[in-house]
C-alpha cells in the first residue's frame, strides 16, 4: 500500500502553498477583496494604537474573519455557478449568487457594527 503523502512534511508544505495561492487568487480576481484588505489593515492598525482589551481583540478578529470567510465562499459559489451555466443566464443561479452576495453584505454590516461598538462606544 502506498503511503499517504498528505501527512508528510512536504505534503503539508504543498497544502500551505495551495492555500496561499488561493489567497493570491482571491485578492487578484475580486475587486471587493482589496477593499476588505484595506479595511483589515486600518482596523488592525487602530486596534494596536488604541490598546484594545482581549475581549475587544476577539471581537475584531472575529469580525475580520467573518467578512473574509463570507467573501471567499461567495467567490467560490460564483465561480461554480458560472461554470455550471457556461456563461448562459439561469434565473436560479442568479438567485443563488445574489443570496451569496447578500451574506457578504450582512457580514460586512455586522463587522462595521462590531467596529463601532469596540472603537466608539
**What confidence tens digit (pLDDT) does each residue in 104-119 have?**
999 999 999 999 999 9
- As for how many domains the chain has, the answer is 1
What does the pLDDT look like over 45-97, one tens digit per residue?
A: 999 999 999 999 999 999 999 999 999 999 999 999 999 998 899 999 999 99
Alpha carbons within 13 angstroms on the beta-carbon side of residue 27 total 10
Average confidence (pLDDT) over 96-102: 97
- Residue 114 falls inside a structural domain: yes
CA 103/CA 62 separation, integer angstroms: 16
Residues 100, 97, 39, 23, CA torsion sign: positive
What pTM, to 2 d.p., does this model score? 0.87
- Residue 4 falls inside a structural domain: no
- Residue 53 falls inside a structural domain: yes
- Residue 24 falls inside a structural domain: no
Domain region containing 75: 31-120
CA 14/CA 12 separation, integer angstroms: 5
H-run or E-run covering 42 = helix 31-50
Task: Compute the C-alpha angle 23/19/64, nearest 5°.
Answer: 50
Average confidence (pLDDT) over 26-52: 95
Amino acid at each position: 500500500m502506498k503511503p499517504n503523502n498528505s501527512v508528510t512534511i512536504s505534503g503539508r508544505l504543498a497544502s500551505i502553498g495551495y492555500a496561499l495561492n488561493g489567497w493570491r487568487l482571491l485578492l487578484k480576481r475580486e475587486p471587493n477583496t482589496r477593499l476588505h484588505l484595506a479595511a483589515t489593515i486600518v482596523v488592525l492598525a487602530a486596534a494596536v494604537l488604541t490598546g484594545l482589551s482581549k475581549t475587544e481583540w476577539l471581537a475584531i478578529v472575529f469580525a475580520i474573519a467573518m467578512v473574509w470567510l463570507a467573501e471567499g465562499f461567495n467567490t467560490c459559489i460564483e465561480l461554480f455557478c458560472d461554470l455550471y451555466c457556461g456563461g448562459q443566464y439561469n434565473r436560479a443561479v442568479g438567485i443563488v449568487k445574489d443570496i451569496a452576495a447578500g451574506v457578504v453584505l450582512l457580514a460586512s454590516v455586522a463587522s462595521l457594527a462590531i467596529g463601532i461598538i469596540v472603537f466608539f462606544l
